[in-house]
A and B are shown apart, each in its own frame.
Chain A
Amino acid sequence: MSGRVPLLRLDGVGKNYGNIIALREVSLEVHAGEVACVLGDNGAGKSTLIKIIAGLHRHDSGTYEVQGEPVEFASPRDALDRGIATVYQDLAVVPLMPVWRNFFLGSEKRKGFGPFSRLDVDFMRRTAKGELLNMGIDLRDVDQPIGTLSGGERQCVAIARAVYFGAKVLILDEPTAALGVKQAGVVLRYIVQARERGLGVVFITHNPHHAYPVGDRFLILNRGRSIGYHTKDEITREELTSLMAGGAELQELAHELESTSRTVADELSE
């Protein structure tokens, strides 16, 4: 593990917003062909972590290395140029624009020179349709506004876009959060597929049941700190679940719920 240079490595990274410490001393490695899961409850610092990796924010302390080189990204464009693509929760799509325009937004394919440089519309339409078909999404019409697609379809467009544009590292921000069981299954299958292709994947989620089957490493965050960083062989699904839910807190909650339901049951039996 230590012999290979990771695609992406964070070491002791921290971030403050004014006097609020959003992230403290977080370390994470992502290798090619691996899925690194970042787990944590709301407000645990997951979003801050992605924003640093994606180049939206700069870290205040620690080091961030891409393929062994320390980096300080000025914009998401810089991160993209290094092969780090992020699929955000809101998917970063423009609802009123057609699917194919969204697919190529920010990386438009052009033909012609100088003032006659124009969009290669046919190529972009065909490519968007083809790439989505490869993922098992058969769109009626790539000219329809992306806002008319279902949540699962939009998610897949966003992932297909990142893969098409040569992402080496794919950062997925809660891709399964808003989806039903079946749709989440499709997205998880796609994460595995990306891993098989040799991509490094950072999979952010608060659902250990989604993370455990696909993950190779697990970073658990709580209140901006790492409370566990394990490889798959070091941790079981149950340990992960209880760690993620704050262990003791969850047990307390279980107790509380149990006693409540007992009271309710008592009342009902009377």
Chain B
Amino acid sequence: MGQVVVEPSAPAADERLARQSWARRLLARPELGALLGAVAVFVFFSLVADAFLRAESFSTVLYASSTFGIMAVGVSLLMIGGEFDLSAGVMVTTSALVAALVSYQLTLNLWVGVALSLVVTLGLGFLNGLLYVKTGLPSFIITLATFFMLAGGNLGVTKAVTGNVASDSVRDMDGFSSARAVFASDLDIGGVNVNITVLWWLLLVAVATWILLRTRIGNWIFAVGGAPASARAVGVPVDRVKIGLFMGVALCAWLSGMHLVFAFATVQSGEGVGNEFFYIICAVIGGCLLTGGYGSAVGAAIGAFIFGMTNKGIVYAEWNPDWFKFFLGAMLLVATVVNLVVRRRVEQAR
């Protein structure tokens, strides 16, 4: 029994609460490791690369962070819900290709392509979720299969339609400029050039954090990742939550895809392969447990920021960018060990 104390005096509880140190409380936050990592990476590149601290460098870093950060939001929520999506990287390309190819071939207003792409991409997310729920196979296998199918489909369809590995340019088509304003414009904020993707990224992080911490769905996401059988037993619709999470990844893929279309006007059909791992790395560095049930959207955002800083910092330091992946791998290793310690701490008193 030990910890069960039968005592009627309530104030005693508050006393004991006050004694809990703030450091311990902070340690229990999933973002802590990432935050310390971000500070360390920032200080490191500030010291080794003079160009790193300039305003234009900062906007480049933010842009790189946002393009991966947008996807990391959906992927981190899915990971908290206990699943992986390996098809996330190529799904971005699929989403972009649908909008570009359909609009171009049928000479439609680009906004029609944008809307159609949203429907198709959400459908792909739904399909991932449905396959997972119906077969009961690990999401790793399901999305590995859809990853290859989408990667092949992207190339195959694009070549069949355009005779080329890239989509035709949609720059001169109706709706391009208005859609570009929404998905790929540059804004001037306090003298710093900020791409609109940064705003989309911050908005998504805010919404995801709200959902996770302050809504019923958020409670359910943690529950289906932490203990699906328990969640089901208390009446949480586990299957619907999981399908919803896969569709959340798809929504982020659509937003990223639209940025591709309107930033570059043509879409390379082979793009996106391998990016899924970067999204997962952002989420894990941000404190998401690989086993689910723990993590945060803010953490994933910090993870994406670390990713962006490292990606561009190596260029500013004038090192061989080949080393980028080495750094990324090392950080992943450190982050995973930190996560392991956190989880042990949480479960130690069993």
CB-contact partner of A90 in B13, B20, B219, B230, under 8 A: B230
On whether the beta carbons of B216 and A183 are closer than 8 Å, the reply is: no
On whether the beta carbons of B219 and A108 are closer than 8 Å, the reply is: yes
Judge if B191 is at the interface, Cβ distance under 8 Å.
no
On whether the beta carbons of A118 and B346 are closer than 8 Å, the reply is: no
On whether the beta carbons of B347 and A95 are closer than 8 Å, the reply is: yes
Interface residues of A in 149-182 (CB under 8 A from B): 149-150, 152-153, 156, 180, 182
On whether the beta carbons of A147 and B346 are closer than 8 Å, the reply is: yes
B2 / chain A contacts, CB cutoff of 8 Å: 150
Task: Provide the bound-state CA to CA distance between A99 and B214, in Å.
Answer: 16
On whether the beta carbons of A86 and B214 are closer than 8 Å, the reply is: no
Task: Provide the bound-state CA to CA distance between A96 and B223, in Å.
Answer: 9
On whether the beta carbons of B227 and A95 are closer than 8 Å, the reply is: yes
Task: Provide the bound-state CA to CA distance between A129 and B17, in Å.
Answer: 13
On whether the beta carbons of A145 and B346 are closer than 8 Å, the reply is: yes
* B interface, size bucket: 35 or more
A107 / chain B contacts, CB cutoff of 8 Å: 234-235
Judge if B188 is at the interface, Cβ distance under 8 Å.
no
Task: Provide the bound-state CA to CA distance between A129 and B14, in Å.
Answer: 12
Expressed in whole angstroms, the minimum distance between the Cβ of A110 and any Cβ of chain B is: 6
Task: Provide the bound-state CA to CA distance between A117 and B214, in Å.
Answer: 9
On whether the beta carbons of A97 and B234 are closer than 8 Å, the reply is: no
On whether the beta carbons of B348 and A148 are closer than 8 Å, the reply is: yes
Judge if B5 is at the interface, Cβ distance under 8 Å.
yes
On whether the beta carbons of B347 and A147 are closer than 8 Å, the reply is: yes
CB-contact partner of A93 in B17, B216, B230, B343, under 8 A: B230
On whether the beta carbons of A105 and B234 are closer than 8 Å, the reply is: yes
Task: Provide the bound-state CA to CA distance between A141 and B15, in Å.
Answer: 11
Expressed in whole angstroms, the minimum distance between the Cβ of A105 and any Cβ of chain B is: 5
B203-223 Cβ-contact flags toward A at 8 Å (1 or 0): 000000010001110111011
B348 / chain A contacts, CB cutoff of 8 Å: 148
CB-contact partner of A140 in B16, B235, B293, under 8 A: B16
Expressed in whole angstroms, the minimum distance between the Cβ of A114 and any Cβ of chain B is: 12
Binds B, one of A74-82, A204-212, A240-248: A74-82
Interface residues of A in 82-105 (CB under 8 A from B): 86, 88, 90-97, 101, 104-105
Task: Provide the bound-state CA to CA distance between A186 and B215, in Å.
Answer: 35
Judge if B126 is at the interface, Cβ distance under 8 Å.
no
B115-143 Cβ-contact flags toward A at 8 Å (1 or 0): 00000000000000000000000000000
Expressed in whole angstroms, the minimum distance between the Cβ of A75 and any Cβ of chain B is: 7
Interface residues of B in 222-241 (CB under 8 A from A): 222-223, 226-227, 229-236
Judge if A257 is at the interface, Cβ distance under 8 Å.
no
Judge if A137 is at the interface, Cβ distance under 8 Å.
yes
Task: Provide the bound-state CA to CA distance between A246 and B23, in Å.
Answer: 57
Judge if B10 is at the interface, Cβ distance under 8 Å.
yes
Expressed in whole angstroms, the minimum distance between the Cβ of A244 and any Cβ of chain B is: 27
Judge if B26 is at the interface, Cβ distance under 8 Å.
no
On whether the beta carbons of A133 and B226 are closer than 8 Å, the reply is: no
Judge if B294 is at the interface, Cβ distance under 8 Å.
yes
CB-contact partner of B235 in A106, A117, A150, A183, under 8 A: A106
Knowing that A96-B346, A148-B346 are A-B contacts, what are 4 other residue pairs whose CB atoms are under 8 Å apart, sorted by A's residue number? Answer: A76-B233, A90-B229, A138-B12, A150-B1
Q: Which residues of B contact A (CB under 8 A)?
A: 1-7, 10, 12-13, 16-17, 20, 210, 214-216, 218-220, 222-223, 226-227, 229-236, 293-294, 343, 346-350
Q: Which residues of A contact B (CB under 8 A)?
A: 54, 56, 75-77, 80, 86, 88, 90-97, 101, 104-108, 110, 117-119, 121, 129, 133, 136-141, 145, 147-150, 152-153, 156, 180, 182-183, 186
Closest 3 CB pairs of A and B: A106-B234, A106-B235, A94-B226
